Structures are given as structure tokens and as C-alpha cells.
């Protein structure tokens, strides 16, 4: 029923010791971090612009790029300082090349190029989605028992504000996209539904908080399963919430915000978990990986972690949303496999992972 796996596996290589400085500015977080040998976190600095964008109910691109310009130099400086390192202790600069807001990406890219030129370091452009995947294996540098390295093939569910997709990862840096959302990304659905029920931006954390006091079975919202494909669709669910809200309002009833939030969250979690596990079975994955901003959701984490069929890798909560440690981590593997990008590297605002 499903076509055969046909990807070009990477050969196993001896991974070199290296420290990578990562820079991320694809959306509304200005971030810099240092990662050693692809997984050990030496420093991680994130300047969030959420407070600035909340007044607009979402990210205002022009405002985001201006804010990146204001903060990026200090953020990079702080990342090096917290790692107790100078640029001469760094082996390469990894930077988010895309996908993301063009004006925001350019700020990080130019910062990375400036550092690469002035310090004579290699420049490595990294896909932001790949960064989310690599965030799953990062551990604090002083952790006595680091979590195990990835086992391939693995099934990766990537759920963020801009993307929801299932990828089969067959070795380091090799992906096969199985499917993705046909309309809203999972995070986008959280953000839109939060607005519908009167909760603040970003919607994911607001819905999670409201859902704590709600009944997930209060409303039986639709689960769009799109059987026979690995795609997702959240627009029907969003419309169902909208219809329910309108109906309650037309009857002058107060909105049961907690119940609406809990029922919506339960519908999203059920579809994401059942589809991912199904794909993992079909492709005989050795493990499942969940990453991206929505992987911070406790209901989603609990659902994945409570099943015993597959080992699950999920980033620490502070690494689920955008950060530069994940860019440095993915950048390390590109560095190890020999990627060196030219200094005229351009940003790719719509860059797909595979
Ligand atoms: O990965 P991310 O920081 O940015 C993108 O690359 O898009 O993801 C941001 C998204 C937002 O839509 C936000 O509402 C969602 O992740 N999010 C959550 C939670 N925390 C962030 N969604 C559900 N539950 C959460 N706890
Ligand atoms: Zn992201």
C-alpha cells in the first residue's frame, strides 16, 4: 500500500570534535547558542518578541526584523560569554537559512556572514525544520547520563506555528517527507482557535493553560483522519469550534472557555498521536521523535510518553520553541559531513526540509 523507502543514506563517519555557534532569527525570536559535538549545550540565549507582537495578535514581520537588528549583536555576545568562549574557540557558524520571514532571516544571515568573514570561520546554512528535529537530542553539558543518540529509521512529527509534517528520517540529515498539513499548521490552529475563544497570543500556551480546568469530552469536535494518506487537516476542527462559539453566543450563553480549549486540544492530540504511531508501525521505525513549538504541549507529550510501543524523543520544554541551540546542533552534523557554504549564501524563506 505504501511505496518503498528510497533515500540516500549517509555513510557512518567518525564525528569530529567541534563547537558550533548557532544563530536563529527566522520569526520572532532572536537567538544564539553554542553546542559542542552536536549535542552538548554550552549556552543558549533567546530574546523573545512575544510581548511586542501580542498587541497585534500575531507576528508583525516589519516589527520583527527591526527588533532582530536591535538585539542580535548583544545576543550573540552573550551566548559566547555564557559559554566562556571567544570566537577563536568556535569551529563554525551555523545560521538559519529558511524557512521563515525573509526580513528576519536576513538579519541572522548577515550577522553570521560578518562573523564568518571576520573570524575566518566556515558558514553553514541550516534548515529551521531540521533544527527542530535536532533539538530532540540536545542535553545540558553537565548531564551525567546523556540521553541515547538517535536510532534510524525514525519517524519524526514536526509540529510548529508554520508546519505540521511527518518525515521518515533514515540517517543523519536524510529525510523523506510522508505528508503534511493541507491547511493550517497545528500551532497555527492553536493560535487561531485561541483567538476565537478569547485567549491571548501565542495560542498554544494559552489553550494549554485554559484546558487544565476543562473537560476534554465536553465537545465532540471532529478528528480529520485523512485515511490512506499521511496528511493532516485542521481547518474543519477550527470551523467546528467557530460554529460552536457562534451558537453559544447566539443563545447569550457565556463561553465555557476551559471546556472548549480542552476539547479542541484533545482532538488535535488524538489525530497527531494516532497518525504518527500508525506511520511508525508501517515504516518499522525504531523510535518516534516529536519536535517544534507544539511539542511543548503537555497533553501531547503525555500522550506520546505514556504509550509503550515506541521509544520517544521529545526536546526539553525550553528547546521546543525557536532557539539557536537546535540550529547549532543540526549545523554540527552538516559541518561533520563537510558542508561549507559560500559567503554569498542567500536566505530561502520557503525552504522545504525534503
Ligand atoms: O516552533 P515555533 O516556536 O515557531 C515556528 O517555527 O513556527 O512554534 C510556535 C508555535 C505557535 O503556534 C505556538 O502557539 C505553538 O508553537 N506552541 C504551543 C505550545 N507552545 C507553543 N502549542 C501548543 N501547546 C503549547 N504548550
Ligand atoms: Zn520553529
Domain boundaries, the chain: 19-138+318-336, 154-314
pTM confidence score? 0.95
Ligand closest to 160 (CA) is 1
Residue 201 CA, closest ligand 1 atom number: 14
Ligand closest to 206 (CA) is 1
How far does the chain reach from its first CA to its final CA, in angstroms? 22
Are the beta carbons of 309 and 31 closer than 8 angstroms? no
Residue 187 CA, closest ligand 1 atom number: 12
Q: Which residues pair with 288 in a beta bridge?
A: 155, 312
How far is 104 from 274, CA to CA, in rounded Å?
A: 35
* d(CA 99, ligand 2 centre) in Å: 9
29-60 pLDDT, tens digit per residue, is 999 999 999 999 999 999 988 888 788 877 88
Q: What is the pLDDT of residue 8?
A: 58
How far is 17 from 176, CA to CA, in rounded Å?
A: 28
Cell of 71: 538585539
The pick from 64, 190, 237, 238 for probing ligand 1's pocket by mutation, whose C-beta has the most ligand atoms within 8 angstroms, reads: 190
Are the beta carbons of 86 and 330 closer than 8 angstroms? no
Burial-class residue 90 by CB neighbours within 10 Å (0-12, 13-18, 19+).
Answer: buried
Is there a common fold for 19-138+318-336 and 154-314?
yes
Q: Which alpha helices (H) appear in the chain, and where do they start and end?
A: 50-54, 61-82, 102-119, 128-134, 186-196, 203-211, 235-250, 257-282, 298-306, 325-336
59-114 pLDDT, tens digit per residue, is 888 889 999 999 999 999 999 999 999 999 999 999 999 999 999 999 999 999 99
* d(CA 26, ligand 2 centre) in Å: 8
215-252 pLDDT, tens digit per residue, is 999 999 999 999 999 999 999 999 999 999 999 999 99
Residues 6+ apart with CB under 8 A from 66: none
Omega of the bond leading into 99 within 30 degrees of 0 (cis): yes
* Long-range contacts from 51-58, C-beta under 8 angstroms, 24+ separation: 52/28, 53/28, 53/201, 54/200, 54/201, 57/195, 57/201, 58/191, 58/201
Class of 19-138+318-336 in CATH:
alpha beta
pLDDT band at 7 (very low <50, low <70, confident <90, very high): very low
Are the beta carbons of 104 and 299 closer than 8 angstroms? no
Ligand closest to 28 (CA) is 1
Does the pLDDT at position 2 exceed 90?
no
| Ligand 1: lining residues by beta carbon, under 6 Å | 27, 160-162, 187-188, 190-191, 202-205, 208, 292-294, 296-297, 321-322
Does the pLDDT at position 180 exceed 70?
yes
* d(CA 307, ligand 2 centre) in Å: 26
What is the dotted CATH code of the domain comprising 154-314?
Answer: 3.30.420.40
Amino acid at each position: 500500500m505504501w511505496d518503498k523507502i528510497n533515500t540516500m543514506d549517509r555513510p557512518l563517519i567518525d564525528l569530529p570534535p567541534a563547537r558550533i555557534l548557532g544563530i536563529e532569527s527566522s520569526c520572532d525570536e532572536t537567538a544564539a547558542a553554542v553546542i559542542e559535538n552536536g549535542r552538548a549545550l554550552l549556552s543558549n540565549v533567546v530574546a523573545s518578541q512575544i510581548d511586542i507582537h501580542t498587541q497585534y495578535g500575531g507576528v508583525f514581520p516589519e516589527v520583527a526584523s527591526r527588533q532582530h537588528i536591535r538585539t542580535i549583536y548583544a545576543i550573540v555576545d552573550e551566548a559566547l560569554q555564557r559559554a566562556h568562549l571567544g570566537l577563536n574557540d568556535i569551529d563554525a557558524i551555523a545560521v538559519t537559512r529558511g524557512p521563515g520571514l525573509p526580513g528576519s532571516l536576513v538579519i541572522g544571515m548577515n550577522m553570521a556572514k560578518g562573523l564568518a568573514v571576520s573570524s575566518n570561520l566556515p558558514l553553514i546554512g541550516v534548515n529551521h525544520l531540521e533544527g527542530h528535529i535536532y533539538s530532540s537530542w540536545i542535553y545540558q553539558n553537565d548531564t551525567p547520563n546523556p540521553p541515547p543518540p538517535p536510532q534510524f529509521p525514525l519517524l519524526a512529527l514536526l509540529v510548529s506555528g508554520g508546519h505540521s509534517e511527518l518525515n521518515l528520517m533514515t540517517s543523519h540529515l536524510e529525510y523523506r517527507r510522508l505528508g503534511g498539513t493541507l491547511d493550517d499548521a497545528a500551532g497555527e490552529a492553536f493560535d487561531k482557535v485561541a483567538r476565537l475563544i478569547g485567549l491571548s497570543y501565542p495560542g498554544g500556551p494559552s489553550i494549554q493553560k485554559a484546558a487544565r480546568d476543562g473537560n476534554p469530552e465536553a465537545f465532540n469536535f471532529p478528528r480529520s483522519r485523512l485515511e490512506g494518506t499521511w496528511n493532516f487537516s485542521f481547518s474543519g476542527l477550527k470551523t467546528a469550534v467557530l460554529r460552536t462559539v457562534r451558537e453559544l453566543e447566539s443563545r447569550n450563553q457565556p463561553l465555557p472557555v476551559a471546556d472548549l480549549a480542552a476539547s479542541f486540544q484533545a482532538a488535535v492530540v488524538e489525530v497527531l498521536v494516532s497518525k504518527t504511531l500508525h506511520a511508525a508501525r508501517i515504516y518499522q521505525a525504531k523510535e518516534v521523535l516529536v519536535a517544534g513549538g507544539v511539542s511543548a504541549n503537555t497533553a501531547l507529550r503525555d500522550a506520546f510518553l505514556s504509550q509503550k510501543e515506541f521509544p520517544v524523543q521529545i526536546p526539553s520544554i525550553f528547546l521546543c520553541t525557536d532557539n539557536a541551540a537546535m540550529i547549532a546542533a543540526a549545523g554540527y552534523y552538516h559541518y561533520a559531513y563537510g558542508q561549507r557554504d559560500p559567503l554569498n549564501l542567500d536566505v530561502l524563506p520557503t525552504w522545504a526540509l525534503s
